[in-house]
Amino acid sequence: MADDIEEMGPIDWILVEFSGPPTGAAAPHLLDLVERGLIRILDLVLVNKDADGTLTVLELADVDGDGELDLTVFEGVRSGLLGEDDVAEAGEAMEPGTSGVFLLYENLWAAPFAVAVRKAGGQLVASGRIPVQSIVAALDDLEAAES
């Protein structure tokens, strides 16, 4: 197992919040990333946060009630790395009356670089992500300043 870990790419997590139940519309795109070998899903947890703040873990199935199985392709994708405490903490970031997809994944595309860095004695000491909405706002501010 230790050898496998040494060959892994960086691990990321995201929490995507939906105003209603997720429809599964993004699932084919996620599956495409997996099939092309860009990512490996380690954990995928679907949660619902009621209006009173109660968090419930949902089964991956027909989440929007239209009779089509939206997310079952990801059923059973649980490594156990995301525990109940992690899910509860993620749920705190969600607004009441929403649902969310909590995803833990390995960046397979970056594995060769990550392995080379580790073999050279390097280690990741900081990382970050800039939401697209922030980039759009910054570009809007730049454009307004130039006007």
CA distances to 5, 32, 33, 109 from 28, rounded to whole Å, are 28, 6, 9, 19
**Cα 105–Cα 36–Cα 48 angle in degrees, nearest 5:** 40
Q: Tell me, what's the pLDDT at 124? A: 87
- Gyration radius of the chain over CA positions: 18
Tell me: pLDDT of 18 over 80.
yes
State pTM to two decimals.
0.80
How much of the chain, in percent, has pLDDT values that exceed 90? 58
Tell me: pLDDT of 135 over 90.
yes
Strands, sheet with 11-18, edge to edge from the N-terminal-most edge strand: 11-18, 98-107, 39-49, 55-58
Mean pLDDT check: name the lowest of 12-21, 41-50, 58-67: 58-67
Instruction: Give the Cα separation of 95 and 50 in Å (integer).
Output: 9
Q: Tell me, what's the pLDDT at 1? A: 44
Tens digit of pLDDT for each residue in 47-89?
999 999 999 988 765 455 554 545 555 666 778 888 999 999 9
Instruction: Give the Cα separation of 90 and 15 in Å (integer).
Output: 7
pLDDT (average), residues 26-41: 91
Closest CA to 71 of 120, 32, 22: 22
